[in-house]
Structure 1
């Protein structure tokens, strides 16, 4: 046996002797400590992602943009649908603000519809210049005997537009008719019905004149129109249709027409 072999044999014997003196539990703990501390780390699958870890930022999707079903992003809304929904809200809000203001029932500090000043001015001009015509309509209507649901208004509105002609003059004439009705309701101490008048007229415009309103830029188009047009000529032509056989004159027979 050579000298080098003797030395290796002695080293192995010493290592074995030393290892035999160390408890097995200590060896296991030391070997686990040598794994870069990974033994104390939670399972990677359950470990939360920290922004900035490994040079990457965690991607967080706001719940408003993630669908509940599969976590995917929703499709982009149709601009036409968004415009349609906005028009519906605008119509209801404008008419409610207008009739409340017209009858002194709207708080002064409340934020109001952008088209309200134009609507107020145009209707005031119509009622001043055509007061006799509207009073005649109101007398023939016999509002005292009408039910609180104001359902007669939708039938009158349908009659006003039954020749399939729509323009801003006819629309504002219908709104002005509603203003006369609301004023009379207040005189009769039936203020509770003012909001119902607004609902009846706005529901008719939304359901039957929706496409026309949308194609004419909604109530923004209304404001633009009456800023540049000869209001008197437009309203005079509208009133001719309203009071004539295609308008309120025939619409006052609503009970027979609607029941057939």
Structure 2
């Protein structure tokens, strides 16, 4: 096996080639000497192996200098040393095989130590720590209240009469200004508050034709009214939430059939409810 390494090396008349050739001869002779001196019999397993690893490392440190170092010399020296030791000690006891493994492992460890460690895959700059809350607590999300409303006062109810001028259903041929939007629904259909607020009126509409009526004040001059009710489920001064059931559809007051007359007032002026919902 070793003859294949010596023949090409003799063809190069360079300092590195001559050093490598001389070193290969020395290592081969040293390995043969170790095999020939190996004790026979019962003492073979207890023989202390010669420290070939230290000799190989010393040679690398002595000759692998910036003046003579080449990439080929460094790699070839490691491969040749490992091959020669393995070929000469192939028939020796297990301690020679352990010696060869120790040489290769030591040289590999030194090469790895000289190489800067690459960052581990998937690692990067540390994520910034979450800022603590104003109370010095953890990172709990602060819940932001969602404005309630507006919601439709009836579920899936068709518009039967829009906001604005129309013919008075109780006086055919006469125009009137319709102050709200009518939603057609059966008697008792649940009526819901369109937004959170306070009930300021709940009872019979004494100054108009709204029949049973509820008025809710939402603040900032905004009010909603619910008219022609069949039943009322809230009282004056009661606080309600958006979507809360407050009454049932009816046909009380000036009405030709069950429906909800829904109004929106801002600072006392009527607005189109469909533009607010």
- Report if TM-score (shorter chain) is over 0.5: no
Q: What is the TM-score normalised by the length of structure 1?
A: 0.27
**Which one has the bigger helix percentage?**
1
Higher relative contact order (CA 8 A, sep 6+): 1
Larger Rg: 2
Q: What is the TM-score normalised by the length of structure 2?
A: 0.26
**Which one has the bigger strand percentage?**
2
